[in-house]
């Protein structure tokens, strides 16, 4: 199809998708309060808000299952309109559905982390098999004289790299969590960044891949925003692992199908940093409690850092104790700043020209 035709096609598709996503947003706004009651009474899925000891009633947990289900309905419905790249599209749906199921099982059963890592790896397999993009690694210009070639064919190692990205993203939202609005806030911001990136790149040489990525991320942006509405400080609902795993995998899949995993990692900088400083505790080199959260102080109502190695505590350690809502808002701002940095790195011609030739710039 010609570029002009492709643009017209994209425009009509995006209008339908936008309408479906808007409907999905309102569906979530309507269903979350209903399912909230079901979670409390029938499903017995609820938790104590440990940063609000004065609040006695339990908070319904696992509302991610609502946005995940509505999201799946939208992408499945839209597929019957678009009928594009079915192999990758269906692989994406199955990976996302698999992680939503795993997250929900985790909410109900409390699954061991080894099993969860294993399952999140398995969920990526259909997408790795269906992946038909380049498997070459473009050598940055300053390194070409050393390596002796301009590109390096990675083959199966490239699939390994993609699997790592997806497993990392899927699990990274889950470990950067624990205060009201944090899980949904970061998800909505990363989704927004991915969305903007796709819209910019729709004109580029990989427009069709960015279109698929956009199809996967726009309904996610809409449904997560609805959940954020209820999950923001002070939270009416908790999102559950059903949301964190679903969210991580959806964003990962959007990056991989859009062929921009490196740019995606720029959007995931806070999560990457949190993951790296969490490693000593995750691997048990330092004792690791079940929740690695800041502590609520009854006297001033602020959160204080604990000796757990993660971004939440580190931020409080350097910036001083804070009210929970303000902490979530500032971490959201930090996330936005990282996205802006990501865009700056990605679209700065000076920087990219230094590392890559022009014809490689658009390769992710």
Shortest separation between residue 73's beta carbon and a second copy, angstroms: 6
Which position among 14, 73, 329, 334 is part of the footprint of a second copy (CB under 8 A)?
Answer: 73
Contacts with a second copy, 25-64, as mask; x by CB under 8 A: ----------x--xx--xxxx-------------------
**Which region, left, alpha or beta, applies to residue 352 given φ > 0 means left and ψ of -120 to 50 means alpha?**
alpha
Q: How far apart are CA 124 and CA 170, in angstroms?
A: 10
What is the four-CA torsion angle of 105, 107, 112, 117, rounded to 10 degrees? Answer: 70
Mark the segment that binds a second copy (CB under 8 A) among 82-90, 193-201, 221-229, 350-358.
82-90
Pairing of strands 136-138, 59-60: unpaired
Q: Cα-flanking dihedrals φ and ψ of residue 20, to 5°? A: -60, -40
Q: Pick from 77, 152, 199, 288 the residue near a second copy by CB under 8 A.
A: 77
State the nearest-atom distance from the C-beta of 68 to a second copy, in Å.
8
Residue of 13, 90, 151, 323 that binds a second copy (CB under 8 A): 90
Give the Cα separation of 137 and 114 in Å (integer): 30
Q: In the chain, where do the E strands start and end?
A: 46-47, 59-60, 136-138, 151-153, 295-296, 303-304
Cβ 180 to a second copy shortest distance, Å: 24
Q: What is the largest CA-CA distance in the chain?
A: 66
Q: Which is nearer to a second copy, 39 or 251 (CB)?
A: 39
**For a second copy, which stretch binds (CB under 8 A), given 4-12, 14-22, 83-91, 273-281?**
83-91
The stretch near a second copy (CB under 8 A) out of 2-10, 80-88, 170-178, 260-268 is 80-88
Query: Among residues 46 and 355, whose Cβ is nearest to a second copy?
Result: 46
Nearer to a second copy, 128 or 188 (CB): 128
> Judged by CB under 8 A, does residue 79 bind a second copy?
yes
For a second copy, the closer CB: 104 or 260: 104
Size of the site for a second copy (CB under 8 A): 39
> Which CB, 124 or 171, lies closer to a second copy?
124
From the list 60, 126, 192, 294, which residue makes contact with a second copy (rule: CB under 8 A)?
A: 126
* For a second copy, the closer CB: 112 or 291: 112
Are residues 342 and 263 in contact, defined by beta-carbon separation less than 8 angstroms? yes
Of 47, 53, 87, 140, the residue at the interface with a second copy (CB under 8 A) is 87
Pick the binder of a second copy from 16, 129, 196, 340 (CB under 8 A): 129
- Closest approach of Cβ 155 to a second copy, in Å? 15
Q: Is the peptide bond before 58 cis (omega within 30 degrees of 0)?
A: no
Is 89 exposed, middle or buried (CB count within 10 Å of its CB: 0-12, 13-18, 19+)?
buried
Helical axes 311-319 vs 269-282, angle rounded to 10°: 100
Binding-site string for a second copy from residue 93 to residue 122, where x marks contact by CB under 8 A and - marks none: xx--xx-xx--xx--xxx--------x--x
- Contact with a second copy (CB under 8 A) among 28, 32, 123, 266: 123
Q: Which residues of 261-286 are buried (b: 16+ CB within 10 A; e: fewer)?
A: bebbbbbbbbbbbbbeebeebbeeee
Q: How far apart are CA 23 and CA 328, in angstroms?
A: 27
Using alpha carbons, list the distances in angstroms from residue 282 to 156, 178, 187, 274, 315: 28, 16, 22, 11, 19
Which phi-psi region, left, alpha or beta, contains residue 340 (left: φ > 0; alpha: ψ -120 to 50)? alpha
Selected from 10, 28, 32, 91, the binder of a second copy by CB under 8 A is: 91
Which residues sit opposite 309 in a β-bridge? none
Q: Which residues bind a second copy (CB under 8 A)?
A: 35, 38-39, 42-45, 65, 69, 72-73, 76-77, 79-80, 83, 86-87, 90-91, 93-94, 97-98, 100-101, 104-105, 108-110, 119, 122-123, 125-126, 128-130
């Amino acid at each position: 199809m010609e570029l002009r035709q492709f643009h017209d096609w994209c425009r009509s598709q995006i209008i339908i998708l936008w309408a479906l996503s808007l409907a999905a947003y309102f569906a979530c706004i309507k269903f979350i309060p209903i399912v909230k009651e079901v979670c409390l009474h029938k499903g017995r899925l609820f938790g104590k808000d440990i940063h609000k000891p004065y609040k006695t009633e339990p908070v319904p947990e696992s509302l991610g299952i609502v946005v995940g289900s509505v999201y799946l309905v939208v992408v499945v419905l839209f597929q019957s309109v678009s009928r594009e790249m079915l192999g990758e599209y269906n692989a994406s749906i199955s990976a996302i559905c698999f992680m939503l199921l795993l997250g929900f099982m985790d909410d109900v059963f409390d699954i061991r982390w080894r099993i969860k890592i294993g399952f999140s790896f398995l969920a990526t397999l259909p997408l790795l098999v269906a992946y038909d993009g380049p498997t070459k690694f473009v050598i940055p210009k300053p390194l070409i004289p050393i390596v002796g070639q301009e590109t390096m064919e990675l083959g199966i190692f490239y699939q390994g790299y993609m699997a790592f990205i997806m497993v990392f993203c899927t699990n990274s939202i889950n470990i950067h969590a624990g205060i009201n609005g944090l899980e949904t806030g970061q998800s909505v911001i990363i989704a927004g960044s991915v969305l903007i990136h796709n819209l910019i790149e729709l004109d580029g040489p990989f427009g069709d891949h960015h279109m698929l990525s956009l199809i996967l991320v726009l309904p996610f942006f809409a449904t997560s925003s609805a959940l954020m509405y209820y999950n923001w400080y002070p939270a009416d609902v908790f999102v559950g692992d059903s949301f964190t795993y679903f969210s991580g995998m959806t964003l990962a899949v959007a990056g991989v199908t859009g062929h921009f995993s490196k740019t995606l990692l720029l959007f995931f900088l806070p999560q990457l940093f949190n993951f790296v400083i969490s490693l000593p505790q995750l691997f048990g080199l330092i004792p690791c409690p079940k929740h690695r959260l800041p502590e609520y102080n009854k006297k001033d109502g602020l959160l204080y850092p604990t000796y757990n190695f993660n971004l939440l505590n580190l931020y409080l350690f350097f910036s001083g104790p804070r009210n929970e809502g303000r902490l979530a808002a500032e971490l959201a701002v930090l996330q936005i700043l990282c996205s802006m940095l990501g865009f700056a790195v990605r679209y700065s011609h000076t920087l990219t020209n230094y590392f890559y030739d022009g014809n490689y710039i658009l390769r992710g």
